[in-house]
């Protein structure tokens, strides 16, 4: 049984664990993350930057409780390789996308580390197109 590492977007993690039952995006996030956590072949991946974004963004869950949850995930370090690639993507895609810099960075980490990328954002195909046409 081969494991799949899936890098999760900070907003997906916040929505899943800092759940607002009246927020449709949080409902969707909780469903996605619950399904991934119940899959024995899936390992959730984060980076220190995602950890920072999640801990900065939680409101309904105690920070130490969220830290404990994040500690159970595989954390991938960010190096100059990912940083250089993220800046290349940003330059290629800046006219084609309105993605925030951190989203591009997370996407770059997933590509460099050969991780699957899971996000509620729908326009990451723009980044793929920019890379494929460079």
Enumerate the domain spans of the chain: 4-132
* pLDDT for position 91: 80
How does DSSP classify residue 60? S
If we measure between CA atoms, which residue out of 97, 105, 103, 121 comes closest to residue 15? 121
* pLDDT for position 101: 62
Report how far residue 69's alpha carbon sits from residue 33's, in angstroms, rounded to the nearest whole number.
12
Q: What ranges in the chain are assigned the alpha helix state H?
A: 10-17, 24-37, 48-57, 63-71, 80-93, 101-112, 125-132
φ/ψ of 116, rounded to 5, equals -75, 155
Per-residue pLDDT of the chain (134 residues; tens, 9 = 90+): 689 999 999 999 999 999 888 999 999 999 999 999 999 999 999 999 999 999 999 999 999 999 999 999 999 999 999 999 988 888 877 666 555 667 888 888 898 999 988 887 755 666 666 666 55
Chain centroid offset of residue 39 CA? 18
* pLDDT for position 2: 83
If we measure between CA atoms, which residue out of 134, 72, 83 comes closest to residue 109? 83
Give the CATH H-level superfamily of domain 4-132. 5'-nuclease (3.40.50.1010)
* pLDDT for position 92: 75
* pLDDT for position 100: 60
């Amino acid at each position: 049984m081969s494991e799949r590492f899936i890098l999760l977007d900070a907003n997906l993690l916040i929505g899943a664990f800092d759940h607002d039952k009246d927020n449709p995006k949080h409902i969707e996030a909780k469903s996605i993350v619950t399904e991934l956590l119940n899959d024995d072949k899936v390992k959730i991946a984060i980076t220190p930057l995602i950890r920072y974004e999640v801990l900065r963004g939680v409101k309904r869950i105690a920070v130490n409780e969220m830290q404990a949850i994040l500690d159970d995930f595989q954390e991938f370090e960010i190096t100059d390789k990912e940083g250089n690639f993220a800046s290349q993507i940003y330059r290629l895609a800046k006219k084609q996308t309105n993605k925030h810099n951190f989203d591009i960075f997370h996407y770059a980490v997933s590509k460099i580390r050969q991780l699957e990328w899971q996000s509620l954002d729908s326009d990451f195909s723009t980044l793929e197109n920019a890379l494929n046409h460079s």
